[in-house]
Amino acid sequence: MKYLSEYRDAQLVRAVMDEISRTIHQPWVIMEICGGQTHSIMKYGLEQLLPADVELVHGPGCPVCVTSLEMIDKALAIASLPNVIFTSYGDMLRVPGSSGDLFSVRATGGDVRVVYSSLDAIKIAQENPDKQVVFFAIGFETTAPANAMSVIQAHNLGLENFSLLVSHVRVPPAMHAILGSPSSRVQGFLAAGHVCSVMGFWEYPSIAEKYNVPITITGFEPLDIAQGILLTIRQLENGSHAVENAYARVVTFDGNRPAQKTIRQVFEDCAQAWRGIGMIPLSGWRLKDEFSNYDATNRFQVQSIKPSESQLCIAGQILQGLKKPVNCPAYATQCTPEHPLGATMVSSEGACAAYYRYGRSQ
């Protein structure tokens, strides 16, 4: 497949890794912000090809992992209601709430359906006028254009039986939270290429400047990631902290303006609770007042839910790059993909699941 196979060329990846070895003269800690990149790194064994002086730490860029427990519990409560068809991207079905997950709701008779796109949820609402159709609108900036478009479509089609349970998170505020923490070890960032395909990278130079960290916009194939690491190491070794784009075939400085316009039409900034991390100011998007009739939390009585998190799970520290999955006493014992304690062991992009799937024990 064009634009995939060229970026999986083992010889080229090895050559870039050799170049990294020639470039590096001291230890550096780089965070890949995106869970998709964590997954690729583990899948292709990239961390094992890197020189020992490069330490990759895994960031909070997995929306499934950071969707707050309270929001998961609200989803479970709404999905359990008799007249509701609850629609969601597939990643969310196995994420544990305080008690059970969306699969267990489905097993006990709830109408929970996996959709490929937000527009599929719109279609279900059109086909089921006597049911309330709720769409679980989670995601980073990558997913927001699709979720925002469903609101515009519902509005244009006059759908009154469609609403969203919104849990959107944004990358730049999370980077601020990580870099602003006294315990942060992060010296350079691989920025999430698909987030930047939508948002561009005009928000990043001020972050690089403020915290003196190089930031490289990076794609997801092994060669993309190797190149992202090389460019970041070059900057670290030179003492520079600019924003570079190693994913220029997809990402431009301005990003996708029509998509940004639709996001801004539908959503506004808000503080957002991140599972395992806590509240980060202005790190989320909620529906604007003029679209509040599409807000599922207004339509269903789910305001008083009190979540209860597992005491064993250290996902929060893993999501901030402070610990690795293998540092968790429950990893691969009490916590496995079949019986997850936290979302990082569920999502295909969660660091714990990636470590487990690819057999990492150190």
Partner 1 sequence: MCLAVPGKIVEIYETNGLLMGKIDFGGVTREVCLSYVPEAKVGDYTIIHVGFALNLIDEQEAMETLALLDEISKQDIEE
Smaller CB separation from partner 1, 232 or 262 = 262
Closest by CA position to 135, among listed 89, 68, 77, 101: 89
Whole-number Å distance between alpha carbons of 190 and 37:
9
- Quickly count: other Cβ atoms within 10 Å of residue 246's Cβ: 23
Q: Tokens standing for 111?
A: 């109408």
Residue 248, interface with partner 1 (CB under 8 A)? yes
Residue 175, interface with partner 1 (CB under 8 A)? no
- Shortest approach of partner 1 to residue 13 CB, angstroms? 9
Closest by CA position to 77, among listed 147, 26, 134, 10: 134
User: Considering only 97-105, 140-148, 287-295, 312-320, which stretch makes contact with partner 1 by CB under 8 A?
Assistant: 140-148
Residues with Cβ within 8 Å of 102's Cβ and at least 6 positions away in sequence, in order, are 75, 76, 79, 86, 88, 92, 93, 94, 95, 110, 112
- Shortest approach of partner 1 to residue 168 CB, angstroms? 12
Query: Which parts of 224-243 interact with partner 1 (CB under 8 A)?
Result: 227
Residue 158, interface with partner 1 (CB under 8 A)? no
Smaller CB separation from partner 1, 123 or 326 = 123
Task: Build a one-symbol-per-residue string for 24-63: x at contacts with partner 1 by CB under 8 A, - elsewhere.
Answer: ----------xxx------------------------xxx
* Cβ(262)–Cβ(149) below 8 Å: yes
Q: How far is CA 353 from CA 79, 247, 332, in A?
A: 26, 26, 10
Could you list the beta-strand ranges (E) of 15-53: 28-34
Q: Strands 215-218, 162-169: parallel, antiparallel or unpaired by DSSP?
A: unpaired
- Shortest approach of partner 1 to residue 57 CB, angstroms? 18
Closest by CA position to 217, among listed 246, 240, 238: 246
- Shortest approach of partner 1 to residue 222 CB, angstroms? 12
Q: Tokens standing for 339?
A: 């019986």
Residue 149, interface with partner 1 (CB under 8 A)? yes
User: Considering only 250-258, 270-278, 309-317, 323-331, which stretch makes contact with partner 1 by CB under 8 A?
Assistant: 250-258
Query: Which parts of 197-216 interact with partner 1 (CB under 8 A)?
Result: 197-198
Task: Build a one-symbol-per-residue string for 103-132: x at contacts with partner 1 by CB under 8 A, - elsewhere.
Answer: -------------xxxxx------------
Q: Interface residues with partner 1 (CB under 8 A)? A: 1-4, 6, 11-12, 14-16, 18-19, 34-36, 61-64, 89, 91, 116-120, 138-140, 142-143, 145-146, 149, 153, 156-157, 192, 194-195, 197-198, 220, 223, 227, 246, 248-252, 256, 258-259, 262, 347, 349
